[in-house]
Chains A and B, each alone.
Chain A
């Protein structure tokens, strides 16, 4: 299955901390006059300090979306990016088809409320799935307690995507395609229904129930 290309690993995941991230978009270069003093400092830093190598999946086109790329990477198995990307595009297409069909069949009054853009549906659904507070296991006096803990943005995004993917892989009918399952789950999350949002609510309830142990957190 794997295409035999001789890939040389240009980009390692461990860089020295002073390496900056690349910004492939076309608006990265802004003329000097429009920048505030802090941004001018940043620009000077960029001319001097080294920059990490760009990933081959990032493009300079405006169609490139970092959230979608992250989701594709999380869906990928055994390095099969082509398959993961294909599933993602089919998911977006299915979402759009369902919404546009609904749009064309509904009367003119209701058309404003129907969101046809699959990207906004995806972003909103992911937002609706992100938990606000999480649980961490803390050991005190020989016993371990589930302590409510704030989560960083990255962790929240990761949990939302992970829950979506595992939900679609495990809890759906065996014979449906992944893109169908994903589109159903995303549309449900967009409307704040469905299993993933339920799981988020369950986590919130657990955290609320364990409020008493909040003082066990020392960080």
Chain B
């Protein structure tokens, strides 16, 4: 397989060099790499953690640290065999260690390799605090969320524009007495249908997923071949108890990969200290997801902490004179315990 390597090496200082390239290896662990702004707009209009989005806006650039869990995930993706049913990867770890960021890093890799991305930024949004709930028109026992569904369809359209004209529907879908989508229409029309008509948007979501599932397997044709990456953040939301009254779950695919990350913040009815897959997914979730490849995400080690500290110094973020001294650095290590999110919140006001 031909891997396209395009990279620009910009060195600011030897300990922390900025690479914007799609090909990473073990040696780059701890260094920052820049996400091109066009990619951020297309791929991540909604998928990045909110504090990271603020950081992008403040520093005028989006830099992600290359860390071992993301590297592991990317190496698995490179080596996997795609003619067999897809492998499932679950990123797990304590709060604030960087699961969502690693997921976004791997997703960016998939995007630059030209995969089709199905990204659910936070499954908890579908499961709790719902403002509008309609009984579904297609199946009597299901409930729909029109706002969430149409939002998701809009984002899906932005991310996967080039695929929309290529893929065709395989069967006829009837939305109401007067509206229906014929067989062989491009996928773009299906999505427009869902965005324009709020009532049937959840059914459109189901139809889209079904189409992708059927067509991802046809990898032998030259033009129609594509790889599908399904990324779900907060996957434990899909099996746990919901604060809505009814919900159900299906997931089967072929010829692609399923990347997921667990998330404790936002999950309902779970204690704060639970972070292992068995605790957060619950029995039903665990049985459904199994077999999966677990990838553990932990706090920064010394080299990564050093790199993060130097990055903040370089971007003029650490302003307090004491934080720039050795003692201040030791204080920061002590206060944050090298946890990425706590360190970020501390450095924000120092």
Contacts and interface: CB of A to CB of B under 8 A. Distances in A.
Given A97-B54, A119-B319, A104 B59 contact: yes
A61 B54 CA distance: 28
B60 A105 contact: yes
Interface in B297-339: 315-317, 319-320, 322-323, 327-328, 331
Contacts, number: 46
Interface of A: 61-63, 89-90, 92-93, 96-97, 100-101, 103-105, 116-119
B151 to A, nearest CB: 24
B57 interface: yes
Interface in B21-67: 54, 57-60
Given A62-B328, A93-B349, A96-B349, A119 B320 contact: yes
A100 B319 CA distance: 10
A104 B317 CA distance: 11
A119 B320 CA distance: 8
A158 B316 CA distance: 32
Contact of B316 (A61, A90, A105, A116): A116
B289 interface: no
A89 B331 contact: no
B270 to A, nearest CB: 23
Given A116-B319, A118-B319, 20 more contacts: A62-B327, A62-B328, A63-B322, A89-B349, A90-B349, A92-B349, A93-B349, A96-B348, A97-B54, A97-B58, A100-B59, A100-B316, A100-B317, A101-B60, A104-B59, A104-B60, A104-B315, A105-B60, A117-B319, A119-B319
Nearest to A59: B331
B58 A63 contact: no
A61 B331 contact: yes
- The prevalent SS among residues of A at the interface is helix
A3 B59 CA distance: 38
A36 to B, nearest CB: 27
26 contacts: A62-B322, A62-B328, A63-B320, A63-B322, A63-B328, A89-B348, A89-B349, A93-B348, A93-B349, A96-B317, A96-B349, A97-B54, A97-B58, A100-B58, A100-B59, A100-B316, A100-B317, A101-B58, A104-B58, A104-B316, A105-B60, A116-B319, A117-B319, A117-B320, A118-B319, A119-B319
Contacts of A119: 319-320
Nearest to A62: B322
A176 B228 CA distance: 43
The listed residue with most B CB atoms (<10 A of its CB), out of A63, A93, A97, A119, is A63
Nearest to B350: A63
A116 B58 CA distance: 12
Contacts of B317: 96, 100
The listed residue with most A CB atoms (<10 A of its CB), out of B60, B317, B319, B328, is B319
A63 B60 CA distance: 28
A100 B58 CA distance: 6
A104 B59 CA distance: 7
Contact of A101 (B57, B319, B320, B350): B57
